[in-house]
Amino acid sequence: MTRPTLFFALLVAPTVCTAATVTKYGNQPQFSDTPRPLATVHVPWRASKPLTRGLELWASGRRDLATKWFEAAVHGLPGDPVAWHDLGVAYFCASRFTESHMCFQHERFLYAICPSALYGMAVCQLAMGNPKLAEDDLAMALAEAPREWEYWHRFAQALAAQGKHEAAAAAARNAAALKPRIRRPVWGLGGVATAIATLRFPHMPTAR
């Protein structure tokens, strides 16, 4: 498939028939700040002790120390794509974009059919001001995972940064159509009564 045909196929892959409002985002792309304990790896896999410790520390908010454990994980098991992915996320959250990009390259090398590495490389390229390279990575990621709304959102960002506004708008519509929508609960009288009955106020100290 030629590149223009692939590009067109990506834009129309998810059928978008509804109007969508494109939210304005900041200049620096945001990456999921939660390293994943598991990856979509179709081979037996178990988190190493350093990786597990890093995830525990990350969950508790101790990101600097967690990053050191992620580094230990990739040094101990350099063939673990999940460890490289999590280290890439950690570096990205610390604005260490070049190092983060390298980690996602390692992930891609070790597990070539996983599009998360391409997505990680793309957000790093966006953060480093290289939207054309980001577009290329995202085009490949979308070819492998065309229903990932975040991929379409970043694709729209990369296109818009190059002045490709029509294509960016189409990508943004795909992102909006695919993004999961959380339904708000319907508050009936019973639900309100239950909420009031279970409400607890903080204990106030007795005035002396």
CB proximity list for 120: less than 8 A, separation 6 or greater: 31, 85, 88, 89, 92, 100, 101, 103, 104, 107
pLDDT value for 51: 92
> And the tokens for 174?
């795909």
pLDDT value for 150: 93
Q: What is the mean pLDDT of residues 171-193?
A: 76
pLDDT bucket at 114, cuts 50 / 70 / 90: confident
Q: Is the whole-model pTM more than 0.75?
A: no
Which residue has 């050191």 as its token pair? 68
| Summary mean pLDDT of the chain | 78
pLDDT value for 21: 28
C-alpha span between 177 and 33 (Å, rounded) = 24
Nearest to 43 by CA among 86, 82, 88, 85: 82
> And the tokens for 96?
């260490």
pLDDT tens, 47-99?
889 999 999 999 999 999 999 999 999 999 999 999 999 999 999 999 999 99
pLDDT higher at 114 or 124: 124
Domains of the chain plus CATH, in order, are 26-180 (1.25.40.10)
With the CA atoms of 11, 15, 18 and 23 taken in that order, what torsion angle do they form, in degrees rounded to the nearest 10? -40
C-alpha span between 168 and 10 (Å, rounded) = 12
